[in-house]
Structures are given as C-alpha cells and as structure tokens.
Amino acid sequence: AKIIQADFVKSSPGTGDCPSDGLPEFALVGRSNVGKSSLLNSIVRRKNLALTSKKPGKTQLINHFRVNDSWYLVDLPGYGYASAPHELRMDWAKFTKDFLLNRSTLVSVFLLIDASIPAKKIDLEYARWLGENQIPMTLIFTKCDKRKKTKNGGKRPEDNVNDFQELIRSSFETVPPWIMTSNVTHQGRDEILLHMAQLRNY
C-alpha cells in the first residue's frame, strides 16, 4: 500500500458540493484537536497537506484529498469544540451528519479518540450514533506517544484505550476494528493503510 500521490481537491460546505467521481472515501471524524488533520498528513507522508493547529476548530469544511488517483481521505470539522459560536457549531454538526448519513461512496468512518486522556462521554455518544445509523466505523486511537507526567494521577494511553473499549463493548454487539496510532512516532500508519486497502477490495 504505497502512497504515490496525494492532492487536495476541494473544500465543500455540504454533501451536494463534494466530488462526484464516485471514488471510495474514508472520513476522519473526532473531537476538535484529536489529531484528524495530523493523521491525514501522516498517512500520506506529507507535512502540511491538511492544515493543523494547536487551536481547536481549524477544519471547518468537508475537505477532500485524493490519494493515488483512486480513493479519498476526507477531513471533517471536529465536534465538541466549546468555544465556537453556538450556531456555527450546530451547522458543522448538521452538514457533517448529513455527509455521514447520505454519502454513498463512504466506505468507512474513522472515529479518532485521544488515547492520552480518559475518554469523553461525547466520544462514546458519537460512536453509538454511528452504530445506530449502521455507518461502518474504525476506531483510531491517537496520541499514543503522549504520557502524562504526573506521578500517580495520569493514566497510560493503553489504560485509556482499554477503558474506552470496555464502554464500547457494553453498547455494541461486535466491537469495531481499532488501531493505535501516533503522528509523532507514526505508530499504526502501515496498519491503517493495510486496513483501508482491505476495505476497498470488498
């Protein structure tokens, strides 16, 4: 699964504006600042193809990136960004949900969960919403390189991942596939590429 080419194609304000060439797509979703844009850059081995930021709320449209002229990575705005103006936040949620529910070329949603902190309720709710709507998903745990410096309080990424999976198990009959990643060490990058290739070949 080699990346030969990766190009930004367009930013769309709604599903109807998205590319219509029918190529398979993988969408990156997750809380603001979880590392969606960073993961996209890591997957295609480009530093700044998708814009990243320390400040949450950087990605505000549906962004299509075409890889090897044969499939798309879709960078979506994050959810749960408290300081965005309320109406703007709702609008993001609405066009993101519309895209996830109605996009026929969507192969799988990659739900990113920050493994460096205990899972948030909103992440579990989002996973449940995807499940209820029968949208295929893969759980991607991010920032697995990050360890809390506190002597006894901070949990390890592995512990946070286990805790989240316990929660998932109680609401899903089958636990979705999951991959542990870091955009610093590039842990999980090959695994993600392999996973996407398998999903495309169904």
Q: Enumerate binding residues for ligand GTP (CB under 6 A).
A: 30, 32-38, 52-54, 56-59, 77-78, 142-143, 145-146, 182-184
For residue 53, the partner it binds in Mg ion, ligand GTP, none, with Cβ less than 5 to 8 A by kind, is: ligand GTP
For residue 145, the partner it binds in Mg ion, ligand GTP, none, with Cβ less than 5 to 8 A by kind, is: ligand GTP
- Tell me if 106 sits within 8 A of 100, measured CB to CB: yes
Minimum CB separation of residue 148 from ligand GTP in Å reads: 12
Q: Which of residues 12-71 bind Mg ion (CB under 5 A)?
A: 36-37, 58-59
Nearer to ligand GTP, 188 or 195 (CB): 188
* Main-chain dihedrals φ then ψ at residue 117, nearest 5 degrees: -135, 160
Minimum CB separation of residue 155 from ligand GTP in Å reads: 16
**Rounded CA separation 120/124 (Å):** 7
Number of residues counted as binding Mg ion (CB under 5 A): 4
Verify binding: residue 142, Mg ion, rule CB under 5 A: no
**Rounded CA separation 14/61 (Å):** 8
**Rounded CA separation 142/113 (Å):** 6
Contacting positions for Mg ion (CB under 5 A): 36-37, 58-59
